[in-house]
Structure formats: C-alpha cells, structure tokens
C-alpha cells in the first residue's frame, strides 16, 4: 500500500497518502483507491508472507479495531486486535460498481501463504 492514496474513515473520509508500510498503532479503517492486483502482507512474527491476488476490483479496505473498539465486538477477545488485520478487496466507496438488472459481475480473490 506504500505510496497509495486512501480515504481515512476515522477522519471523516479525508483523502491521505500512505507513506511507508502500513503499520498499526491505533484503530484503522482505510479505503485504498486504485490498488494493485497483488498485495503482500509481510508477517515477520510468523516468518511468512501472505499474498492476496485479485481481479475485477478497484479498491482495498484495510482495518483493525484496536483496543477500544475491539472490546465492543462480542465475538472478539479484548486483546484480539493484536493478532489480526483485515484486508478486503472490492469496489467500494467511490469505486462502487453498478450492476444493471440481468447483468453480472464477479470478483476473484486468492490468498497464498509462503514461508520466508
């Protein structure tokens, strides 16, 4: 996501620019526009990379509830936010796809884990 523009849903949807790698030190809900068809999560804690390959999408949502919001999610342990991030491919927000009646659209997303 480095170098991409995103809309910060926790800052009234303001457009911002990602400097460096995405890291988590607080709650994050970001919509990245014009993302690549292959994204890589470098997971140093488990010595692995998670590759996310997708097609027919224009945006990627990255979020983590962090401490305060995590405590309000019934099916998530209070400290659960420390063990995951959510990366969703799609066409959302300003890139919504309108599908006319009788038409169709598909989005393909594949995940692959490789060990370093």
- What CATH number did the domain enclosing 87 receive? 2.70.98.10
DSSP 33-84: ES--SEEEEEEGGGTEEEEEEEES--EEEEEE-HHHHHTT-TTS-TTGGGG-
Residue 75 structural domain? 5-115
pLDDT score of 16: 96
Cα-based distances in Å from 93 to 2, 27, 61, 106 = 20, 19, 10, 17
pTM confidence score: 0.85
Gap between the Cα atoms of 94 and 9, Å rounded: 13
> pLDDT truncated to tens, each residue of the chain (116 aa)?
888 999 999 999 999 999 998 888 999 999 998 888 899 999 888 999 999 999 888 899 999 999 988 888 899 888 888 888 999 998 888 788 889 999 998 889 999 999 98
pLDDT score of 109: 92
- How many domains does the structure of the chain reveal? 1
């Amino acid at each position: 996501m480095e170098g991409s523009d995103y809309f910060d849903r926790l800052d009234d949807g303001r457009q911002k620019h990602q400097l460096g790698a995405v890291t988590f030190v607080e709650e994050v809900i970001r919509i990245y526009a014009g993302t690549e068809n292959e994204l890589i999560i470098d997971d140093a804690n488990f010595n692995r990379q998670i590759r996310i390959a997708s097609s027919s999408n224009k945006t990627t949502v990255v979020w983590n509830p962090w401490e305060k919001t995590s405590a309000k999610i019934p099916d998530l342990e209070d400290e659960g936010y420390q063990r995951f991030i959510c990366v969703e491919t799609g066409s959302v927000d300003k890139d919504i796809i309108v599908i006319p009646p009788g038409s169709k659209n598909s989005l393909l997303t594949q995940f692959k884990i490789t060990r370093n």
